[in-house]
């Protein structure tokens, strides 16, 4: 039934029936004298309220409701539109226009809450008079006599205390509201505002919770049950007491039949209609908690916590569910494998970034979120070891003073470091003598990296790191080229993604787009790549790092396509890494212990982490075309 039809039915069928039944009932109890008194009282109340409307000048200004938007639940989706989680404060609500709500639900609510809604002007004098007599008889407030409009202003502006002054204020505000909004506008506000139990507000969210469907799709039986809950949603909830909910449903259906808004046949059919319940939707967890919590952090920095919980945002993340599931499974399975191989590591993290967009494609912050909610991919600052060396060698190439074939001395050397001297050592304790940078990086020699860092200046290396989006604190200590700095796996994956794109950088993000519930764009993270690195130097670095995989310390990371990367192992084997990339995906994998204890003597990134990286990349790139890296010969030397 449309709102116009509903309004006509209200005028044509309800008023005579309701008035007749009301008069008949009152007549039986008190006789004609009381009826006359009541009608007089009704007139006095109605007239008095109009006068009060003029005098109540300290009440809230209802005109703000012309632009009022209720607080609304925020929904977070993956890149393809799959719902990951919903966020809200106390009110779990999704706002929908009136024409998107089932006509059955609108009729059912009006029938049980305010059947004169379309004929009164905010206050129903007859209902007020009935409430006055009932309360006077009992000596306390037992009946409210509120119209739907009065309920709305009470919920929005007033306290829930049952006092005479509050009731008068409620009536005054209702009269004012009816002067500035249409009936349909008020009904839409009400149906989106009303509380339906279990932290569920508004018809749409309640329908999704109770019946697992949109409010537009509710049938008569479901509508009557939902309308019946408004009186006492927690007590009458079918999740709490299905028998009470069913009894209340029958009261609503009977009332609709009395009003001739449904036929006896429709009532009988609705009574027998099976009800399939949904599940409580408030405060549900995420199906990808590491991803959504990192997304929430990014959103909070941009919009603030309050706007996130109440703003009804629709957030499209950059993460592909399929890729994320691959990453989660790889981390869980390989953690068990590494433990069996004698690696004493309690945690692992993985971050994957698309070099073409700098969109995060997968993010795993730990082995099992249920056991630990700490997101090591975005929050754990760990030393990258030799995986930091590419930043040093890129800076050297970009300076124009070094090429991959430049010779560096791999021989004993010491440098002043504070009040002491720092003497770098290679992992095996040996020295190779003169060595090319290409070879030094392939086999991860430490002394050449420290020598080059001192020659080009560590401040320039730090500048490159900042250009690549690394924000963690970095000190220019002599051992910096060997990874004496704390970085997150996501920072490492993002920085290597810029190497993979030949120096093109965009801000790394988990968010593609944010809109409000009406589709208005609040944030558009369409990549705006900028060339921030020298193309020749980047291509040269990638060329050298391909050798790390084909013939260096990371042969366990070989793929069936060109790939570049770098192993990382810190002193005392506290952190072991592999960070690598193909043109379409850059991934960092970290393995270690939260208490910084060693993972095992002789455990290296090349031996134990490179196979993890390879497994993830092989699965993630299945069906993705093979692409070659750009050759240094395509670009002029700086």
Same domain (yes/no): 452, 598: yes
Which range of residues forms the domain containing residue 234?
3-55+88-272
DSSP state, residue 262: S
What is the model's pLDDT at position 23? 31
The CATH number of residue 123's host domain is 1.10.3810.10
User: Which residue would you say has higher pLDDT here, 145 or 505?
Assistant: 505
What is the model's pLDDT at position 418? 79
Same domain (yes/no): 257, 333: no
Q: How far is 198 from 93, CA to CA, in rounded Å?
A: 11
The answer to whether position 329 is within a domain reads yes
What is the model's pLDDT at position 132? 63
What is the model's pLDDT at position 166? 64
The answer to whether position 229 is within a domain reads yes
Q: Are 582 and 545 in contact (CB under 8 A)?
A: no
Q: What is the band of 61 on the pLDDT scale with cuts at 50, 70, 90?
A: confident
Q: Of the residues 14, 113, 267, 298, which is catalytic?
A: 113
User: Is position 386 annotated as part of the catalytic site?
Assistant: yes
Q: What is the band of 32 on the pLDDT scale with cuts at 50, 70, 90?
A: very low
Same domain (yes/no): 598, 507: yes
* pLDDT tens readout for residues 461-515: 999 999 999 999 999 999 999 999 999 999 999 999 999 999 999 999 999 999 9
Residue 550's Cβ-count burial label (10 Å; 0-12, 13-18, 19+) is: middle
Q: Euclidean distance between the first and final Cα of the chain, in Å?
A: 75
Q: Taking Cα atoms as reference points, which of 184, 188, 159 lies closest to residue 173?
A: 159
Ramachandran class of 502: left when φ > 0, alpha when ψ lies in -120 to 50, beta otherwise? left
Same domain (yes/no): 471, 566: yes
Same domain (yes/no): 238, 112: yes
The least confident of 5-19, 294-308, 470-484, 543-557 is 5-19
What is the model's pLDDT at position 31? 40
DSSP state, residue 72: B
Q: How far is 588 from 490, CA to CA, in rounded Å?
A: 7
Q: Give the count of domains, the chain.
A: 2
The CATH number of residue 441's host domain is 3.40.710.10
Compute φ and ψ for 312, nearest 5 degrees: 60, 40
HEC states along 6-53? HHHHHHHHHHHHHHHHHHHHHHHHHHHHHHHHHHHHHHHHHHHHHHHH
Range 515-528 average pLDDT: 94
- Residue by residue, DSSP assigns 570-631 as -GGGSEEEEEEEETTEEEEEEEE-TT-----TT--IIIIIHHHHHHHHHHHTTTPPP-PPPP
Pairing of β 504-505 and β 530-531: antiparallel
What is the model's pLDDT at position 26? 36
Q: How far is 528 from 635, CA to CA, in rounded Å?
A: 22
The answer to whether position 48 is within a domain reads yes
Mapping DSSP to helix (H, G, I), strand (E, B) and coil, where does residue 259 land?
coil
Q: Examine the pLDDT at 46 and tell me if it is beyond 70.
A: no
Same domain (yes/no): 25, 169: yes
Same domain (yes/no): 202, 351: no
* pLDDT tens readout for residues 383-408: 999 999 999 999 999 999 999 999 99
Q: Examine the pLDDT at 134 and tell me if it is beyond 70.
A: no
Same domain (yes/no): 267, 345: no
- Tokens 């209609």 belong to 273
Same domain (yes/no): 158, 241: yes
Q: How far is 11 from 289, CA to CA, in rounded Å?
A: 53
Q: Of the residues 42, 215, 286, 386, which is catalytic?
A: 386
Q: Examine the pLDDT at 437 and tell me if it is beyond 90.
A: yes
Q: Examine the pLDDT at 436 and tell me if it is beyond 70.
A: yes
Same domain (yes/no): 263, 343: no
The answer to whether position 309 is within a domain reads no
* pLDDT tens readout for residues 222-249: 999 999 999 999 899 999 999 999 999 9
The answer to whether position 415 is within a domain reads yes
Same domain (yes/no): 218, 356: no
Residue 247 Cα distances to 142, 243, 310, 638, angstroms = 21, 6, 34, 82
The answer to whether position 279 is within a domain reads no
Last residue of a domain, one of 204, 238, 272: 272
Same domain (yes/no): 415, 480: yes
User: Is position 507 annotated as part of the catalytic site?
Assistant: no
The answer to whether position 398 is within a domain reads yes
Q: How far is 509 from 512, CA to CA, in rounded Å?
A: 8
Last residue of a domain, one of 239, 272, 305: 272
What is the model's pLDDT at position 13? 36
* pLDDT tens readout for residues 549-575: 999 999 999 999 999 999 999 988 999
């Amino acid at each position: 039934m449309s709102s116009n039809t509903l309004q006509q039915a209200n005028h044509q069928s309800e008023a005579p029936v309701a008035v007749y039944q009301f008069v008949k009932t009152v007549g039986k109890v008190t006789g004609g004298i009381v009826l006359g008194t009541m009608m007089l009282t009704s007139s006095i109340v109605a007239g008095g309220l109009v006068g009060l409307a003029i005098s109540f000048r300290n009440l809230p200004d209802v005109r703000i409701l012309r632009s009022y938007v209720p607080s609304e639940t925020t929904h977070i989706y993956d890149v393809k539109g799959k719902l990951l989680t919903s966020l809200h404060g106390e009110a779990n609500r999704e706002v929908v226009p009136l024409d998107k709500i089932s006509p059955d639900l609108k009729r059912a609510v009006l029938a049980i809450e305010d059947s004169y809604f379309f004929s009164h002007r905010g206050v129903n004098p007859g209902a007020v008079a009935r409430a006055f007599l009932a309360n006077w008889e009992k000596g306390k407030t037992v009946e409210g006599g509120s119209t739907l409009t009065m309920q709305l202003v009470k919920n929005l502006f007033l306290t829930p205390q049952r006092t005479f002054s509050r009731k008068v204020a409620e009536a005054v505000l209702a009269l004012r509201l009816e002067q500035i909004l249409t009936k349909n506008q008020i009904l839409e506000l009400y149906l989106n505002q009303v509380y339906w139990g279990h932290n569920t507000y508004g018809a749409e969210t309640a329908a999704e919770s109770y019946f697992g469907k949109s409010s537009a799709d509710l049938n008569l039986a479901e509508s009557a049950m939902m309308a019946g809950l408004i009186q006492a949603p927690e007590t009458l909830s079918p999740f709490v007491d299905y028998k009470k909910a069913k009894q209340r449903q029958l009261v609503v259906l009977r009332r609709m039949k009395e009003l001739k808004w449904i036929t006896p046949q429709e009532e009988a059919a609705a009574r027998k209609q099976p009800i399939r319940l949904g599940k409580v939707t408030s405060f549900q967890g995420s199906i990808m908690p590491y991803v959504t919590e990192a997304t929430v952090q990014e959103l909070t920095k941009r919009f603030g916590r309050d706007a996130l919980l109440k703003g009804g945002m629709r957030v499209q993340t950059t993460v592909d569910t399929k890729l994320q599931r691959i990453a989660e499974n790889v981390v869980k399975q390989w953690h068990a494998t590494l433990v069996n191989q004698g690696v004493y590591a309690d945690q692992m993290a993985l971050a994957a970034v698309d070099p073409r967009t700098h969109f995060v494609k997968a993010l795993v912050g730990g082995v099992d979120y249920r056991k630990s909610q700490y997101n090591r991919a975005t929050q754990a600052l760990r030393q990258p070891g030799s995986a930091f060396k590419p930043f040093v060698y890129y800076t050297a190439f970009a300076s124009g003073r070094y090429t991959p074939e430049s010779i560096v001395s791999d021989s004993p050397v010491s440098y002043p470091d504070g009040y002491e001297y720092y003497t770098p050592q290679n992992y095996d304790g040996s020295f190779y003598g003169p060595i090319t940078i290409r070879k030094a990086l392939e086999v991860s020699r430490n002394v050449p990296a420290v020598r080059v860092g001192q020659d080009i200046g560590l401040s320039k290396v730090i500048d490159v790191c900042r250009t690549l989006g690394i924000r963690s604190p970095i000190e220019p200590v002599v051992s910096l080229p060997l990874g004496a700095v704390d970085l997150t796996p996501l920072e490492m994956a993002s920085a290597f993604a810029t190497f993979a794109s030949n120096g093109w950088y965009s801000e790394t993000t988990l968010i593609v787009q944010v809109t409000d519930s009406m589709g208005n764009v609040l944030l558009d993270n369409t990549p705006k790549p900028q060339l921030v690195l020298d193309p020749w130097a980047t291509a040269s670095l990638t060329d050298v790092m391909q050798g790390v995989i084909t013939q260096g310390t990371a042969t366990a990371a070989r793929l069936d396509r060109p790939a570049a990367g770098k192993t990382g192992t810190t002193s005392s084997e506290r952190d072991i890494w592999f960070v690598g990339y193909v043109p379409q995906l850059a991934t960092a994998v970290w393995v270690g212990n939260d208490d910084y204890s060693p993972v095992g003597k002789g455990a290296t990134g090349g031996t134990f982490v490179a196979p993890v990286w390879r497994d993830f990349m092989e699965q993630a790139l299945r069906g993705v075309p093979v692409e070659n890296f750009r050759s240094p010969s395509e670009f002029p030397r700086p």
